[in-house]
Amino acid sequence: MTQVLGEDIESIAPEVQGSHWPIVLAIALTLVLVGLTTVLVISLAGLALALVALVAWVAQRFQGPSLVDHAPASVLNGASQGAGEAVFEAPLEVFTIQSSRWGLVWFIASEAIFFANLIAAYLYLRVSSQTWPPAGGPHLDLLFPSVNTAILLLSGIPAYYAHRAIKRGDIRGLRIGLVLAALLGAVFLVGQGYEYLTAGFTIRTNVFTAAFFTLTGFHGAHVAAGIGILLTVFLLSLRGRFSAQRNFAVEVASTYWHFVDIVWIVLFTILYLAQ
Amino acid sequence: MTGYGETVPSLRAEADVWTWITTTDHKRIGILYMVSAFVFFLGGIVEALLMRTQLAVARNTLLGPDAYNQIFTMHGTTMIFLFLMPMQAGLANYVLPLMIGARDMAFPRLNAFGYWLFLFAGLFMYSSFLIGAAPNAGWFAYAPLTEVQFSPGLNIDFWALAILLLGISSTAGAINFIVTTIGLRTRGMSFNLMPLFVWATLVTSLIIVFAMPSLTTGVVLLLVDRRLGGTFFTPGDGGDPLLWQHLFWAFGHPEVYILILPAMGVISEVLPVFARKPIFGYSFIAWSSVAIGFLGFTVWAHHMFAVGLPIIVQALFAASSMIVAVPTGVKIFNWIATLWGGQISLKTSMLFAIGFIGQFVIGGITGVFLAVVPFDWQATDSYFVVAHFHYVLFGGALFGLFAGLYYWLPKFTGRLLDERLGILHFFLILIGFNLTFFPMHLLGLMGMPRRIYTYAPGLGWDNLSLVSAVGGFTIALSVSVFIWNFFSSLRHGQAAGDDPWDAWTLEWATTSPPPPHNFSTVPIVRSRRPLWDLKHPENPDWRTAQPARDASVESKEERVDAGPRRGY
């Protein structure tokens, strides 16, 4: 028992040892900034590189044999012994997933706080101005955005279903759910693009329209990211990476997707319903 | 003696560039953070010296107004975002996993990403000097000065964009610290047994996660205004410059605690070891950090007393600001009680820790002055404010960092620093610091505004400004003594051994520097001083009354076995 950590500690590290994708991703994001202060093409190149780096980052996690396969049997059996000895109560995979789950919680929390700040800024402007929307400001039409909202909310169901399916080991259900959710999300984005183009006002019109485009724009970017995550998980599912026991990536995709949905409910309420 | 480590790898032997670029080892990332932050620190010092030289005599012509604006903006931004925060991130990166007996951080690659993003964002911001357009609106970048009609150049864009990346970087780091602390504590280490530096880092990280989005939001809206024609911060069309101030200080005041809490954590580790006594009032120190972190979010408008908020609002913010002094005072008294009756050993680290207490108290008291609205109206935007926050962030945060560096560098390098040079460093910086910043209190009360690039003779500011400049160069001299000490210790320093200070926390249980996997055997923790227990098996802390309510040994042992499942 004492030998477990003495010998194997390096082979059962919690994550990939050594990776150049962190620095590549950091360079890519910096290129985006450089482009914004010089020529825009550099930003686009930076975005493309960032996308590659993100995909590679995720792929690296899924490379090679699973950690569980390699952990010593004593670790998997949840052996826990006396003082000074190696102690694992659960498979290593569970440890990293519990950390990852906390990571997901705090990541979403930080995003939620960001949106809360945007919304607080909007409400501050609204409360402190005499008329709202300011002079010449538009009155938003409700019908089309309501339909679009329904589509986005509907997409939460297949996302939920996908996660439920893989927990039963139903890979086919997982794939269908993921694709359906991504598809509905894409329809929402197209609808939002259509709304932007036919709005009859621009970000320059007044502070309401600036806030409208900023808030919905950031949300739209998050929907796009969510679609990216759903599709990435879909691709991984094609390569048979998930099972009833191993499906944390699905949990990430579906949780994030629900988060994006909830943010939209708040935005829709304060931007459209409470005009 | 009975350490958990095994081999002593030399840093030099692994100096292959590619392994450093791709590293995900928290110790190496910690070193990268600290070295990069220190280089930015030197940049910040050069900027400070330029300002002090410019103001040493009246009507000096060393710097023009525009250059001066760029220099003071970059000085503030550098010291806060590119030195103090990443330096503390580096220190915590190296030490925190060791202190909780973990193998690494929870997300090693995210850790590396945070470091590289910080480095490139810093370099990006500094690249603005190359085109002569460094940020020039002060570190809090007030709108509408920062709007495009008043600041048409790229200066503010460099600032805003770099701040966005730095926000991502520090949030990533903070999430990593939180998850590591929650999930990777070694067996038996409940929250109640964590070292106080870990507590401080945990609370700091929580503040970062909750505060940073306000700054990000402000910067995003600013960029929409500047680049896309928005009107968030321009009056007319419903925009409001005060919105920027609210967003900025909703981040900016918690930021002060982000900067000071890690230093307080360091002090809480250093004082007991060099007083040869367990920390006095562990729970009070831990929970006062939580209280400070929480209260820090309720005081932001005391930075805005001069903008005409309703009187009742000002009164509330004045009251909440003064309340912060309570948990801070709790810490001070507990530290003093830790020293009381101890066998005090005045190593350099201890000197810095004691210096921290004295100077931080001065900064804290002037902080209470400034929370009083009428006084603030008198002193705001004067050199008094500059003196106040330098006593907190330099006399406090920086002294705390140096205490930490003298304490932990032997663990990082395996070599002891020279004590005589250390003491020289301490006294030079103590004298230099007070020469530089104490006169600023007087200058401020005599009406000298901050951020002026020159002044007329005969206002009574000349002599004190000259003293301040002399102090600035004394600080620079002291830092060069430190650098000399560091490099000579790498070559000629006495070997540190695993545990040079006879300390009690887990980082001293492994070798100096630790092996890549930190510990060969997973440490088991039964008290707040696990290494004491290991060294004194006949009289371990957990057998006596610590924590006091665990009366019987049996129940203690039960608690450990049922304790949080942790490992690697």
The pLDDT tens digits for A171-203 are: 999 999 999 999 999 999 999 999 999 988 999
| pLDDT tens per residue, range A49-93 | 999 999 998 888 776 544 444 344 334 333 333 333 333 334 455
- Cβ contact B251:B80 at 8 Å: no
Is A87 in Cβ contact with B119 (below 8 Å)?
A: no
Question: Distance between terminal CA atoms of chain B?
Answer: 24
pLDDT band at A240 (very low <50, low <70, confident <90, very high): confident
Closest CA to B451 of B352, B522, B366, B385: B385
Q: Which residues contact A218 (CB under 8 A, 6 or more apart)?
A: A115, A118, B220
pTM of this structure: 0.91
Active-site residue, B139 included: yes
Helix then strand then coil, % of chain B, to nearest 5: 70, 0, 30
Mean pLDDT across chain B: 91
Q: What distance in Å separates the CA atoms of residue B296 and residue B325, rounded to the nearest whole number?
A: 11
Q: What distances in angstroms separate CA B198 from CA A253, B548, B560, one per listed residue?
A: 32, 21, 19
B interface mutation test: which of A2, A11, A17, A31 has the most B CBs within 10 A?
A17
Active-site residue, B425 included: no
Closest CA to B152 of B227, B220, B244: B227
Our CA-based measurement puts residue A186 at a distance from the nearest CA of chain B, in whole angstroms, of 25
Per CB-CB distance under 8 Å, the chain A contacts of B20 are none
Our CA-based measurement puts residue A59 at a distance from the nearest CA of chain B, in whole angstroms, of 13
Closest CA to B5 of A1, A152, A6: A6
Mean pLDDT of B356-362: 96
Whole-number pLDDT of residue B233: 95
Q: Inform me whether the C-beta atom of residue A225 falls under 8 Å from chain B C-beta atoms.
A: no
How far is Cα of residue A88 from the mean position of the Cα atoms in its chain? 31
User: What residue has token string 């005090």?
Assistant: B344
**Among candidates A23, A33, A90 on the partner chain, residue whose Cβ is nearest the Cβ of B161:** A33
| pLDDT tens per residue, range B241-265 | 999 999 999 999 999 999 999 999 9
pLDDT band at B545 (very low <50, low <70, confident <90, very high): low
Q: Inform me whether the C-beta atom of residue A207 falls under 8 Å from chain B C-beta atoms.
A: yes
Q: What long-range pairs does B318-325 form, CB within 8 A, spacing at least 24?
A: B318/B371, B318/B372, B318/B373, B320/B295, B321/B367, B321/B368, B321/B371, B322/B368, B322/B371, B323/B295, B324/B292, B324/B295, B324/B296, B324/B299, B324/B367, B325/B364, B325/B367, B325/B368
Q: What distance in Å separates the CA atoms of residue A4 and residue B522, rounded to the nearest whole number?
A: 10
Q: What distance in Å separates the CA atoms of residue A180 and residue A56, rounded to the nearest whole number?
A: 25
Q: What are phi and psi of B382, to 5 degrees?
A: -110, 175
Cis preceding-peptide flag for A133 (omega within 30 of 0): yes
Per CB-CB distance under 8 Å, the chain B contacts of A15 are 24, 104, 107-109
Cβ density class B439-448: b for 16+ within 10 Å, e for less:
bbbbbbeeeb
A interface mutation test: which of B103, B109, B215 has the most A CBs within 10 A?
B109
Active-site residue, B390 included: no
Whole-number pLDDT of residue A93: 53
**Among candidates A60, A107, A207 on the partner chain, residue whose Cβ is nearest the Cβ of B238:** A207
Whole-number pLDDT of residue B22: 92
**Among candidates A22, A30, A202 on the partner chain, residue whose Cβ is nearest the Cβ of B121:** A30
- Cβ contact B199:B165 at 8 Å: no
| pLDDT tens per residue, range B184-227 | 888 889 999 999 999 999 999 999 999 999 999 999 999 999 99
- Higher-pLDDT residue of B169 and A70 is B169
Q: Which residues contact B68 (CB under 8 A, 6 or more apart)?
A: B51, B54, B453
Residue B57 has pLDDT above 50, yes or no: yes
Q: Which residues contact B133 (CB under 8 A, 6 or more apart)?
A: B153, B154, B155, B158
**Among candidates B162, B183, B522 on the partner chain, residue whose Cβ is nearest the Cβ of A87:** B522
Q: What are phi and psi of B321, to 5 degrees?
A: -65, -40
Whole-number pLDDT of residue B9: 46
| ipTM given for this complex | 0.91
- Cβ contact B510:B5 at 8 Å: yes
- Cβ contact A253:A229 at 8 Å: yes
Q: What distance in Å separates the CA atoms of residue B14 and residue B59, rounded to the nearest whole number?
A: 53
Is B106 in Cβ contact with A14 (below 8 Å)?
A: yes
Is B565 in Cβ contact with A90 (below 8 Å)?
A: yes
Active-site residue, B255 included: yes
Q: What distance in Å separates the CA atoms of residue A230 and residue B369, rounded to the nearest whole number?
A: 54
Question: Distance between terminal CA atoms of chain A?
Answer: 67
Whole-number pLDDT of residue B558: 43
Q: Which of A112-116, B14-18, B84-88 has the lowest mean pLDDT?
A: B14-18
Active-site residue, B491 included: no
Active-site residue, B75 included: yes
